[in-house]
Chains A and B, each alone.
Chain A
Amino acid sequence: MADSIQSLHGEPGEPVLVYDRIGKNKRQTWLMMLVFVAVVGAFATVIALLFGLPWQGAPFVFVALGAYAMISYYASAGVALAVSNAHEVTKEQEPDLYRIVENLSIGSGLPMPKVYVIEDSAPNAFATGRDPKHASVTATRGLLDKLDHNELEGVIAHEMSHVGNYDIRVMTITVVLVGLVALLSDFFMRWAWFGSGSRRSNDDRSGGAYAILIVIAVVLAILAPIAAQLIQLAISRQREYLADASGALLCRNPDALARALEKITADPEPLQEANKATAHLYFSNPLRDHNSFLNGLFDTHPPVEERIRLLRAM
């Protein structure tokens, strides 16, 4: 279907076929699910053993995690939309946006995705779903207000490219699998370092349990950057460059896409509805705090200047 876009150049000198991208993304989704079950399952087993629970429970943990991963495969798009507070819109409600999505789905030969809007004035967009038949495209209110017709078309074309080559499958399942690990580690670390002091004075539990919690916190502190690395693995920079390139090919207007990127980066507002689990979905990095070590690791997008330079050179 989208294979008609014959070949694109991702990294210099390396032609990439859309067929290859689709196969790679499908394989990567499986890999992601396997790694998730293995890592989290092993971790949960270790914790359970530390608490003196019988080892016979381990297989159940793995089965449950496998089930969670399978459910995620179907449910993660809904989760991504729900945590972003996106609501579906009809053609009557948002005629311009809807028409653009319609036109680009015709232009790329993809089925018409559902259209969502996030009521947030920070301009951004993302696509999600497990395949082109179950896909949706989301734009923020700020994107609709701040971009002109052609720029909006460029952004949506970028998103439709993610839909067409199954980027959305990997990116979306990442939200629920790896995002969960990252958020849990964040939570445990904060709790262990800052929350445990007052907790200990309140109820005088045994020192042993407390030591175990410290161990958990330390392990999680190690796990969090690994999870972040996994997100980066899935959300390779090449993916964004490719979507820019095939998006420009689709809307026939790389300049408008470059202008849209400029406008979006120049906008100082952070997107309230985005978090670390969903940041990599977006057209442009929605999180504005790049200073801390952890956020550096979570840097999910290639540098905007480079994206704009490549678009201008087309």
Chain B
Amino acid sequence: MPIIILIVIAVAVVAVVWAVLMYNGLVQARLRTKEAWSGIDVQLKRRASLIPNLVETVKGYAAHEKETFENVTAARARLQQAGTPAQAAEANNMLTQTLRSLFAVAEAYPDLKANQNFLDLQHELSDIEEKIAYARQFYNTNALAYNTKTQTFPSTIFAGMFGFQAAEFFEAEEAAREDVKVSFTPSPPPAASA
């Protein structure tokens, strides 16, 4: 009898330890994903904070391009209201598109293109875009690791029991990474503004 009791106790102890490890693994993976998300969030906030200044600068030269400004401002507002990674990704891609048309508009105004403030903003935005791409890479790797844990046996049992939900990926638009690479060219030297 005592031997059987001992075996039962031993099995119970092993099972509890195993369960705790499994649970902690899930918590850790979720925490890493959360931390990685803040890496993207910081860059998105930086990006959004540059937009009003950029719009004002362009307005000074091309006041009648109202629709472009409205689109950019609307995309920025959506980015700031985004609650989930997927929403933020969508809003951010929209902002990228509207900014592209804003910069296309700027092409038609040589004085604007020579404006130092404009050049600085343009350069900083392309830097942020590149950083978002890297932060996205890190976040998605962590989200994938976490999701794999929540969806594969045996940790999926605990994920279901304790409400570990799969993380959303931060999807960039098609070939965003390549775009970023190409756009990263240092802005022309300030001498051009003379």
Contact = CB atoms under 8 A, between A and B. Distances in A.
Nearest to B140: A4
B142 A106 contact: no
A23 interface: no
B150 to A, nearest CB: 16
Contact of A4 (B134, B135, B145): B145
Contacts of B32: 1, 3-4
Contacts of B186: 95-96
A107 B39 CA distance: 9
A68 B137 CA distance: 42
A109 B181 contact: no
A90 to B, nearest CB: 16
A108 B169 CA distance: 17
B39 to A, nearest CB: 6
Nearest to B132: A106
Interface in A1-17: 1, 3-6
Contacts of B127: 99
Among B127, B138, B142, B145, the one with the most A-chain Cβ atoms within 10 Å of its Cβ is: B138
A188 B46 CA distance: 58
A95 to B, nearest CB: 8
A106 B131 contact: yes
A82 B142 CA distance: 37
Q: Which secondary structure dominates where chain A touches chain B? A: helix
B26 to A, nearest CB: 15
B141 A106 contact: no
A108 B138 contact: yes
Interface string B124-147: 000100110011011001100100
Nearest to B177: A252
Contacts of B134: 103-104, 106-107
A107 B184 contact: no
A109 B138 contact: yes
B36 interface: yes
Contacts of B184: 149
A182 to B, nearest CB: 39
Nearest to B36: A109
B135 A6 contact: no
A102 B135 CA distance: 11
A252 B145 contact: no
Contacts of B36: 4, 109
Contacts of B138: 4, 106-109
Given A4-B141, A5-B141, A107 B135 contact: yes
A150 interface: yes
B145 A106 contact: no
Given A103-B130, A149-B184, A252-B137, A109 B39 contact: yes
B27 to A, nearest CB: 15
Interface of B: 32, 35-36, 39, 43, 127, 130-131, 134-135, 137-138, 141-142, 145, 177, 181, 184, 186
Given A96-B186, A103-B130, A104-B134, 4 more contacts: A99-B127, A103-B131, A106-B135, A252-B177
10 contacts: A4-B36, A4-B145, A6-B141, A6-B145, A95-B186, A99-B127, A106-B43, A106-B135, A107-B138, A109-B142
